[in-house]
Chain A
Amino acid sequence: MVRDDADDESIAAVSRTLYRQGMTDGLPVIPPTEERVEEMLRGTDTPDDAVIGRLGNDDNPITVAGLASNAVMAGCLPTHMPVLEAGVRALADPDSNSIQFSVSTGGWAYQWIVNGPVRGDVGIAGGTGAYGPNYRANRAIARALGIAYRNTAKIHPGEKDMGVMGNPFKFSLLLGEHEEASPWEPYHVTAGYDEGDSTISLSGPNSFVQWEPAAAEAEAVLRGMLANTPPAMVSGEQQGGDFDQTITYVLCPASIDLLADAGLSKRDVKRYVADNSAIPVDEFQKGVLWEGALEGYHGRVENAQVPQIRGPEYVRVVAGGGRTGRCDAVIGPSIGGPVTEPIDYPDGWSALVAEYGPTE
C-alpha cells in the first residue's frame, strides 16, 4: 500500500513524501512549512528571492528561500543561515569543482572547515568528538548544505551522482578549527583573511584516516603523518592543470604542542611531509593526476622513488580534536578547492545569537 500524505504535515508524512521525491538524505526531516522558513530567514538580510549561486550541470539557481527550506529540513537554526549562505557561495565557486566531485564515481565528500568567532556564536565544535555524531551545528549545517546541493543540482544515486560506493562523510564532514589549541595561525588566516573574520572553507576529499602517533615526540607525530597517508592520497597539480589536488592533516592539540615545542611552524610541517613523501614507483596510484607525473621514472632505476606529495603548497594543516589523548587524522585527496568564503552577519546578530544561543 502506498500512503497518501497529501494533507498530512506530520514529520513522518512530510519525510516520506520528500524522500519519495528524492529530496532528503533518507533520515527524517523537519517539514519546511512557510512559518518555519520565515523564522529561518531571520538569520539573513538577503532578500528571499535573491539567487545566492548556481549549482550543477544546468547551473540551477538556489535562492535564499530555497536554502532556508533545506536548512529547516536539516534541523538548522536561524543563526546557521550566515554560515549556510557562505557555504553555498563556496559550492558555486568554480574553483571548488563541486560540479565534478559531487557526481564523480570516486564518491567524494563536502569537507567544511569553519573559522572565527562564528564558531562560538552558533556552537560549531572543534574539540573532543567534533567529527562525531555529537554537535547539532556541525551536523545540521553540513547536512543542510549537502541536501541543498542535491535539491538544487538535482543529483541522485545512479542519476548524476555516480559514486560507486557513496561516501559516509558526504553530508557530515564539518569541523570548527580548534584555533584556541594551536599557536599557529588559523586556517583562514593562511588563506588570506584576518583572524577576527569568520569564514567557511570547502574542499572535496574522499577518505578519512586517523591514528595514534607511536610516541609523545615531535618526530613520532611527523612519522605518523607519513606512515598513515595511504598511496591513494596523492597531491599535486591535477591533470589538465585546472585544479590542485590537496590533502588535509587534522592535528590534535597534543600533537601540535609537540611540534611547536620542537620549533616547527605549520609551514615546516607541510614541507617535511612533502619532502619525505617519496614512495616506490610501483606503489604510486595515479588518481586524477598531473600530466606526466611519472615521466623520467619508469624503467630508469628499479624501485625508483616518486613524491606522493608534490610540495608543501598541496598540504593543509588544521587544528582539531580535544585534549583527551593523542590522535591525528588525514583527509583527502581533494579534487576541488580549497575555497574560503567570508561569513557576513545580518543586522541584529547579537540579539539573534542571544535568543537562539549555541546550545539551543
Chain B
Amino acid sequence: MGLVTPSSTGNDTDQKPLTPRVDSLDGTHIGLYDNGKPAAEPLLTAVQEMLAERYPDATFEWYHVEHLNQIKNDEEQAAVTEWAEDVDVAIGAIGDCGSCTKFLTWGIEFIEDAGTPGVGLIDEGFELDYQSNAVERGRPLRYKKTPVRCETTDLERVRDEVTDDVLDGIIDELTRPLNDKERADPVAQ
C-alpha cells in the first residue's frame, strides 16, 4: 500500500554489548543504586543485608538519586557513571511504575557505560516495560523480578519478600557469563 508511515524511523540506536560479568561477588565492592523511588531504599537495604551475610568480605557503596526525574539531568548522569567506575558490580532499584522503570534502565545503562556489570530490580508487572526501554536505549540490560510491590516502604515486609531465591537470581545476573546476544558487536537496531 502507498501509505506514509505514521511511525518514527527511530534513531538507529546501536545495540552495545553488556559489560562482562564477574566470577563471584566474594570480596567485591558492590554498588547499590537507589533511583529515588520510595521502595528502592528498603529493597536495597534488605538485599545488602543478605549479601553481607553470604559474602562477609564484600563491601558496599550507595548512590541515591534524590528524585527519579533527576536522572534526566546531564550532571546526575555523569555522577552515576563516575560513581559506578569505583564499584565492581551494581544493583539498581526499583522499577515499579512507568516512568521509574524507564529511568531505572537509564541508570543501569550509565552503570554499564562505566564498564560495571549492572542489574535492575523490578516489580514483575514491569518486565516488558523494562526490556523495551532497555533495548531502545541500546542494551539488553539485565534485570531480576522481585515480589516487592509498588511503593512498599515497610522494611520488615521487604525482608520477608526478598528470599534466598530472589537473592540467588540477583547474583546470577551479575555472575552468569554473557550469551551471544549480550556479547554481540554493535549493530543497527
Contact assessment for B70 and A31 in the assembled complex, using a CB-CB cutoff below 8 Å = no
Q: Are A151 and B129 in contact (CB under 8 A)?
A: no
Asked if B54 is at the interface of the complex by the 8 Å CB criterion, the answer is no
B136 within 8 A of A: yes
Check if B10 sits within 8 Å of A60, measured CB to CB. yes
Residues of B within 8 A of A55 (CB): 8
Q: Confirm or deny: A295 has a beta carbon within 8 angstroms of a beta carbon on chain B.
A: no
CB of A66 within 8 A of CB of B3, answer no
Q: Judging by beta carbons under 8 Å apart, are A160 and B6 in contact?
A: no
**Is B59 among interface residues, defined by CB-CB distance under 8 A?**
no
Residue A282, interface by CB 8 Å: no
Kindly state whether residue A231 has any CB partner on chain B within 8 Å.
no
Q: A311 near B: Cβ within 8 Å? A: no
Residues in A105-135 with C-beta less than 8 Å from chain B: 105
- The answer to whether A69 and B11 touch across the interface, beta carbons within 8 angstroms, is no
Task: Find residues 57-98 in chain A having any chain B CB closer than 8 Å to their own CB.
Answer: 57-62, 65-66, 68-70, 72-73, 94, 97
Residues of chain A lying within 8 A (CB to CB) of residue B137: 57-58
Instruction: Using known A-B contacts A154-B136, A162-B97, A163-B98, determine if residue A61 contacts B9 with beta carbons closer than 8 Å.
Output: yes
On whether the beta carbons of B7 and A158 are closer than 8 Å, the reply is no
A60 and B8 in contact, given A104-B99, A160-B98, A242-B69 (Cβ under 8 angstroms): yes
**Chain B: minimal CB distance from A135 (Å):** 23
Q: Are A66 and B102 in contact (CB under 8 A)?
A: no
Contacts A31-B1, A105-B150 given; indicate if A70 touches B6 (C-beta within 8 A): yes
Residues on B with beta carbons closer than 8 Å to the beta carbon of A17? 1
Are A9 and B1 touching (Cβ within 8 A)? yes
Q: Which residues of B contact A4 (CB under 8 A)?
A: none
Interface 1/0s, chain B 123-151, versus A by CB < 8 A? 00010110011001100000000000010
**Cβ of B128: which chain A residues have Cβ within 8 Å of it?**
158-159
Q: Are A104 and B98 in contact (CB under 8 A)?
A: yes
**Docked complex: B96-137 residues within 8 A CB-CB of A:** 97-99, 101-102, 126, 128-129, 132-133, 136-137
Contacts of B11 in A (CB 8 A): 58-61
Q: Is the CB of B98 within 8 A of A152?
A: no
Q: Which of A32-40, A216-224, A317-325 binds B? A: A32-40
> Nearest residue in A to B135 (C-beta to C-beta)?
A58
Q: Which residue of B lies closest to A36 (CB)?
A: B4
CA distance A48 to B130 in the complex (A): 34
Decide yes or no whether B2 CB sits under 8 A from chain A.
yes
Nearest Cβ distance between residue B11 and chain A, in whole angstroms? 6
| A6 proximal to B (CB < 8 A) | yes
User: In the assembled complex, how far is the CB of residue B145 from the closest CB belonging to chain A, in whole angstroms?
Assistant: 15
- Which residue of chain B lies nearest to A162 when distances are taken between CB atoms in the complex? B98
Number of residues from A at the complex interface, CB < 8 A: 54
A154 touches B133 (CB 8 A): no
Interface assignment of B66: CB less than 8 Å from any CB of chain A: yes
Evaluate contact between A160 and B7: CB separation under 8 angstroms: no
- Please state if A23 and B129 are interface contacts (CB–CB under 8 Å): no
Assembly CA distance A33 to B3 (angstroms): 4
Given contacts A31-B1, A58-B13, A70-B6, is CB(A103)–CB(B98) below 8 Å?
Answer: yes
Give the contacts of B134-178 with A (CB-CB under 8 A): 136-137, 150
Answer whether A14 and B70 are a contact pair too, CB < 8 Å, given A57-B136, A151-B7, A159-B129. no
| CB-defined contacts of B1 to chain A, threshold 8 Å | 6-9, 14, 17, 31, 33
Is the Cβ of A58 less than 8 Å from the Cβ of B10?
yes
Give CA–CA (A37, B2) in the complex, Å.
11
Q: Is B67 among interface residues, defined by CB-CB distance under 8 A?
A: yes
Q: In the complex, which of the residues B4, B9, B126, B150 has the most CB atoms of chain A within 10 Å of its own CB atom?
A: B4
Q: Does A148 contact B (CB under 8 A)?
A: yes
Instruction: Please determine whether A33 and B7 come into contact, CB atoms closer than 8 angstroms.
Output: no
Q: Are B133 and A57 in contact (CB under 8 A)?
A: yes
Q: Which of A263-320 contact B (CB under 8 A)?
A: 291
**Of A21, A37, A100, A148, the contact of B99 (CB 8 Å cutoff):** A100
- Which residues of chain A have C-beta atoms less than 8 A from B73's C-beta? 242
Which chain A residue shows the least CB distance to B65? Answer: A240
Query: Does A161 touch B at the CB level, under 8 Å?
Result: yes
Q: From known contacts A158-B128, A158-B129, A162-B101, infer whether A18 and B6 are also in contact, taking CB-CB under 8 Å.
A: yes
B6 touches A161 (CB 8 A): no
- Chain B, residue nearest A243 (CB): B69
Q: Does B72 sit at the interface, judged by CB under 8 A?
A: yes
Instruction: Tell me, yes or no, whether B179 is within 8 Å of chain A by CB.
Output: no
Give the CA-CA distance A199 to B10 in the complex, in Å. Answer: 28
Task: Show 8 residue pairs from A and B whose CB-CB distance is below 8 angstroms, ordered by the A residue.
Answer: A58-B13, A61-B11, A66-B4, A70-B6, A100-B69, A103-B102, A152-B7, A242-B70
Residues of chain A at the chain B interface (Cβ within 8 Å): 6-9, 14, 17-18, 21, 23, 31-34, 37, 55, 57-62, 65-66, 68-70, 72-73, 94, 97, 99-100, 103-105, 147-148, 151-154, 158-163, 238-243, 291
- Other A-B contacts than A100-B69, A160-B129, 20 sampled, CB-CB below 8 A, are A7-B1, A8-B1, A14-B1, A23-B6, A32-B5, A55-B8, A58-B137, A59-B11, A60-B9, A69-B4, A97-B69, A99-B72, A103-B99, A104-B99, A147-B6, A151-B6, A153-B8, A154-B10, A160-B102, A240-B69
